[in-house]
Structure 1
Amino acid sequence: MAVPLSQKTVETLAGLGHDVRTPAYDRRRLRPGVLHIGLGNFHRSHMATYLDRLFARGEDQDWAVIGAGVMPADARMRRRLHAQDWLSTVVDLDPEGCSARVVGAMVDFVPVVPAAIVRALADPDVRIVSMTITEGGYFLDAGTGRLDARHPRIRADAADPRRPGTIFGMLVKALAERRAKGHPPFTVLSCDNLPGNGEVTRSAVVGMAELVDRDLADWIRREVTFPNSMVDCITPSTTARERELVSRRFGIEDAAPVVCEPFRQWVIEDRFCAGRPALERVGVEFVDEVSDHETMKLRILNAGHASIAYVAALLGYRQVHTAMGDLDIREWLSALQEREILPALRSIEGKDYHAYRARVVERFRNAEVADTVSRLCANGSTRQPKFILPAIRDALGLGLPVAGLALELALWCHYCRVADDTPGMPPVSDPLSSRLRTGAVEAAKQPRAFLGIREIFHDLAEAPKLCDAFARWLALIDSHGPRAAIRHYIDAGGHHSSSFHTSYAGSS
């Protein structure tokens, strides 16, 4: 029978004989040092787990986590976690045998009320404010990449900074209070999967401050640090399936368990204005500059997901691990990355890109994670510009081939054309779905109609090398299907343009 998760039952859990680790420290001795905004699954599988491991060493126990958030989901999470004394069960979905860890690094969760959040942020015990608020939570202007000062919620905070409603208005108000009282500022640490996430966060906070008080904005520029970081741990959403797994396999009744892959990576620029926990002792890597590590992950893991997404959907797969059981899909991913992705990356001392790529393939094949193809296909209009289009721009700039990258775009285009009319295929789930479908249909006669969606591709439609390859691949997919297209790329050994018409005469 499953035991309800709480501090009182932790000792009971330890004696059940299941493969469950419980906090190896006295949680009563913990003191808060981190306030985390957006306390969802990823934070608990990643940052909270690293801190739990550090506390288990008896170290830095004044860096416990307080949760915070402004969304309805945050209020629901607060209710669930409060009922179980802020504990979470984190299950590593290892194909060799799943294991569970009751993570106790969290000690409180601020009521989902702006005034309460500002009070917590202004407390000098809080020395790091971390966040996972997703890309949409940064109020970015798509054209400039900076804070959208015209957004109604940003304008409202600027008009009445004493009663902010956005996280950035609250951060600015709390920093103003700390400055006025002579308290040092906190470090703001983004844990979102965004290129240059620290710079994005800095732009949003300083941009908000400039709308309120230019002197305060200057002080924030000088005194507050915003380290860039690279985070990595595949963490699916929690459903009834995951709650039942935790109950059945580990004997724990947890209202909000987390399941994730056993792999974790966290690389952070070592810039903390108010100190930090010694997370390097539990596997976090601190560096002077994170951009190359970030690019490695974005181009190999995230672009890898994007590269298999649409061909997997077109070939009828629903789960990532089953798609990776298809030899053609595995060889397509390998060929694309070895020929066009890895050659454009700058070397990092001590990093073997080929070994990293091979590890990524292993992660994609993990059946325990049960990642879905529909998740990888969703929101292509935001994923492709982050993961695939920068790789194309780099390759074009370096004079490297782009045939495989053009094929990836052609597969996306074909998917956008047929998905909604194909039973069993994940439908197009994208804020620009109508625009994508129209462009994909028109591309059957005029291929540049798809690449001409400027809000996605910008000037890439003017790159002849890319457009020509895209047109030829699209014709091949239309005439022979997606499997024939990726098989041709694999067999061509990278010499796509010279062998294309020989192998498929008349197909274009």
Structure 2
Amino acid sequence: MEVSLRENSPLTSPPTERPKAGILHFGPGAFFRAFNAIYTAEAMAHSGGNWGIRAVSLRSAGIRDTLAAQHYIYTAAMLMPDGIEYTQVDVIDSILVAPENPQAVLAALCEANIRIVSLTITEKGYCFDPATNGLDHNNPDIMHDLDHPETPRTAIGFLVYGLAQRRAAGLPPFTVLSCDNLPSNGALVRRMVLELAHAVDPSLADWIGAEARFPSTMVDRITPATTARDIENLRQAIGIDDSGCVVHEPFRQWVIEDDFVKDDHPNWAAAGAQMVTSVDAFELMKLRCLNGSHSTLAYLGYLAGYKTIAAAMCDTRFADLLTRLWAREIIPTIPTPEGEDLHAYCHALQERYKNPSIHHKTSQIAMDGSQKLPQRLLGAISDNLKMGNSAPLLCLAVAGWMRYVGGTDELGQEIDVQDPMAQQLRNAVIKSTRPEEAVQALLGIEAIFDPELAQNPKFEASVTTAYISLLEHGTLKTIERELYA
């Protein structure tokens, strides 16, 4: 459960009692521990229930080893503008490491008490092909999972074979709850699961399609990577040595489609989650208003020399850029979700970005841009063009991404581009003899750019103009020319 820390509260003593695990979660990273776990702890504190969480790491044993040494209890640090509030969280009962023992994960998926399987595995973890929006059957891990059902490597493989075991045992399926920043994430994971299941056994796919549930969600909480400084601050403030601690902003929002197997889930609404019929409008609001502006700040802010979002927002040029971006190019493309005020939502975003205690690195947000660009920026550009509107600031953000993936900043220093397509993107830039060629080469990558958008003359011209300006005048001068000319 979630308990406010006291002076010198130890992490070395196991809790006297824990709820039985009702959730299996893939991806025990910082976001999950700062978001899902805290919501679930609060839900049980309010309404009870056996909704403890057993987590699964699909890669390394690092977080398991760290948290196991302290009985899976960890500290969550809420970074407020004027201080830090520490909370102890002990809702996790254990962490399985899939590469060490995949059979243990499959066994856990088949436990009757596990009714929800949730995921925070990033875009790459869903093994989908952006070009077809279907399962990537050429993915080596998917190919492995088809040939070796007893030792899956992917979350999709574990879900399919776990559901197959439940069906064989006469158990109901679990609800699959995606909590990643992907449009219609529930529908996406359902599609991937059904495609793989159909390749394994068409009747299994039919059973999953009829009986399982895949509600979509929208999640929102800024969770910067924990630093050595955060750990030292915790030690000095509370007297606790916790290398598994997580840091997060005060704000949080969780919107969940109320569609679960047997309507069985924790009382997350008591913890402030919004249970709705459809998350589509909320999801679009977040993807474009928050994630889209975050990516804009990440690429342009990094190029301008700012290492964090808060530092960039101290520059009035970036604050003005976002204000105009939201008002003119993003909000007009979004239907207003029930109970929301889009202008107020964006104003709140701006205040969140300015929080000096949140050291959210622009380089962290810039990661995996090839996977994120279509949802965060390109969809809004397409909608603007369909409405007859230009989108110069969104196009500037795309040009900023192009400048960034070229791998060299404005001072000639190398950029460590973290992206599954990093080498292909860099080659597209460095093999071009003119800026126009670099833009055309990047726009020609159909895994990122829909050909209909890439071949739109207005879009191509706007991105090219912005890209050349970034090269010739630098980021800040380009922003000034766009805003104040």
Q: Which residue of 2 aligns with 1:315?
A: 304
**Paired AA for residue 359 in structure 1:** A
Deviation at 1:421, TM superposition (A): 7.0
Task: Name the CA distance, whole Å, in 1 between partners of 2:213 and 2:396.
Answer: 41
Q: Is the 8 A contact 1:420 1:428 kept in 2?
A: no
Q: Tell me the amino acid that sits aligned with residue 312 of structure 1.
A: G
Q: Secondary structure at the match of 1:367?
A: coil
**Deviation of the 1:485 alpha carbon:** 2.3
Asked whether the 8 Å contact 2:18–2:93 carries over to 1, the reply is no
Q: Secondary structure at the match of 2:54?
A: strand
1:343 aligned to 2:338?
Answer: no
The answer to which of 467-476 and 131-140 deviates more is 467-476
**Is the CA contact 1:35–1:67 (under 8 Å) kept in the aligned structure 2?**
yes
Deviation digits for residues 84-126 of structure 1 (CA, Å, limit 9, x no counterpart): 1211100111112210110121223345411111111101101
- 2:133 is aligned with what amino acid? G
Query: CA separation of 1:414/1:135 partners in 2, compared to 1, >3 Å: closer, same or farther?
Result: closer
1:490 aligned partner: 483
Q: Equivalent residue for 1:87?
A: 73
Check 1:15–1:427 CA distance in 2 against 1; reply closer, same or farther (3 A cut): closer
Correspondence for 2:29: 40
Q: Distance in 1 between matches of 2:413 and 2:426?
A: 18
Paired letter, 2:132? T
Q: What's the offset of the Cα at 1:395? A: 1.1
1:61 and 2:49 equivalent? yes
Indicate the residue corresponding to 2:321 in structure 1.
Answer: 332
Deviates more, 1:123-132 or 1:102-111: 102-111
Correspondence for 2:271 among 282, 285, 308: 282
User: Is 1:366 paired with 2:352?
Assistant: no
TM-score, normalised via structure 1 length: 0.87
| Larger CA deviation: 119-128 vs 406-415 | 406-415
Q: State the 1:29 CA deviation.
A: 5.2
Residue 42 of structure 1 and its aligned partner are, at CA, apart by 0.9
Question: 8 Å contact 2:288–2:330 — kept in the other structure?
Answer: yes
Distance 1:327 1:424, change over 3 A: farther
TM-score, normalised to structure 2's length?
0.91
Which amino acid in 1 is paired with 2:170? Answer: G
Amino acid at match of 2:356: A
Match of 1:444 in 2: 435
Write the deviation string for residues 310-332 of structure 1: whole angstroms up to 9, x where unpaired: 32223222222111100111101
Q: CA RMSD in A?
A: 2.5
- 1:497 matched residue in structure 2: none
C-alpha contact 1:110 1:120 (8 A) present in aligned 2: no
Q: Tell me how far 1:221 sits from its aligned partner.
A: 0.3
Give runs of aligned pairs for residues 184-263 of structure 1, distance below 5 A: 184-263=172-251
Q: CA deviation at 1:33?
A: 0.9
**By how many angstroms is 1:424 displaced?**
5.6
Show the counterpart of 1:463: 456
Question: CA distance change for structure 1 residues 384 and 15 in 2, over 3 Å: closer, same or farther?
Answer: closer
Structure 2: gaps (5+ residues):
none
Q: 1:131 to 1:428 in 2, by over 3 A?
A: closer
Contact 1:313 1:425 in 2 (8 A): no
CA gap 1:466/1:106 in 2 versus in 1, 3 angstroms: same
Change (3 A) 1:116 1:340: same
Between stretches 188-197 and 222-231, larger displacement belongs to 188-197
Instruction: Return the match for 2:82 from 96, 99, 102.
Output: 96
Structure 1: unaligned runs, 5 residues or longer: 1-6, 493-508
- Which among 399, 412, 416 is matched to residue 410 of structure 1? 399
SS of match in other structure, 2:336: coil
Residue 76 in structure 1 maps to residue 62 in structure 2: yes
Q: Secondary structure at the match of 1:349?
A: coil
Work out the CA distance in 1 between the residues paired with 2:118 and 2:454: 38
What do the CA deviations read for 1:11-36 (whole angstroms, capped 9, x no partner)? 9x9542x8x899xxx86151221111
Distance in 2 between the 1:407 and 1:163 partners?
Answer: 45
For 2:354 and 2:64, the matched residues in 1 are separated by 34
Query: Structure 1 stretch 170-179 or stretch 417-426: which is displaced more?
Result: 417-426
Q: Structure 1's 14 and 293: CA in aligned 2 closer, same or farther, altered over 3 A?
A: closer
Q: Give the structure 2 partner of residue 177 of structure 1.
A: 165
How many residues align structurally?
475
SS at match of 2:129: coil
* SS in structure 1 of the partner of residue 167 of structure 2: helix
**CA apart distance, 1:351:** 0.5
The equivalent of 2:291 in structure 1 is 302
Asked whether the 8 Å contact 2:55–2:96 carries over to 1, the reply is yes
CA apart distance, 1:472 = 3.0
- The CA distance in 2 between the partners of 1:471 and 1:66, in whole Å, is 49
Given that 2:10 and 2:240 are in contact with CA atoms closer than 8 Å, whether structure 1 keeps it comes out as no
Q: SS where residue 261 of structure 2 aligns?
A: coil
Which stretch of structure 1 is more off in the superposition, 437-446 or 281-290? 437-446
Q: Aligned to 1:385, which of 363, 374, 391?
A: 374
Mapped to 2, the partners of 1:479 and 1:15 lie a distance apart of 56
Relative to structure 1, the CA distance from residue 429 to residue 129 in structure 2 (aligned partners, 3 Å threshold; closer, same or farther) is closer
| Offset from partner CA, 1:264-302 (integer Å, 9 cap, x none) | 111111010041111101100111111110110010111
- C-alpha separation between the residues in 2 aligned to 1:172 and 1:21? 40
**Mean Cα displacement is larger for which, 261-270 or 398-407?**
398-407
1:503 — aligned with what? none
Q: For the structure 1 residues 434 and 209, does the alpha-carbon distance in structure 2 shift closer, same or farther, using more than 3 Å as the test? A: closer
Counterpart CA distance in 2 for 1:243 and 1:108 is 22
Q: Hey, what does 2:386 align to over in structure 1?
A: 397
Tell me, in whole angstroms, the C-alpha distance in 2 between the residues paired with 1:487 and 1:463: 26
Query: Match of 2:55, as an amino acid?
Result: G
* Match status 1:109 vs 2:95: yes
- Measured in 2, the distance between the counterparts of 1:411 and 1:82 equals 42
CA deviations over 1:395-447 (Å, ceiling 9, x no partner): 11222221222222233333445725735674444333344345446352545
Amino acid across the alignment from 1:246:
L
Question: 120, 144, 147: which one pairs with 1:132?
Answer: 120
Give the counterpart letter for 2:196 in structure 1. M
My pick for the range that moved more, 214-223 or 413-422, is: 413-422
1:86 is aligned with what amino acid? Y
Secondary structure of 2:213's counterpart equals coil
- The 1-side partners of 2:423 and 2:371 are apart by 15
In the alignment, is the contact (CA less than 8 A) between 2:79 and 2:85 conserved in 1?
Answer: yes
Q: 2:144 matched to 1:156?
A: yes
What one-letter code is carried by the residue in structure 1 that aligns with 2:70? Answer: Q
Q: How far apart are 1:211 and its partner, in Å?
A: 1.7
Identity %: 38
- Give, in whole Å, the separation in 2 of the partners of 1:276 and 1:54: 10
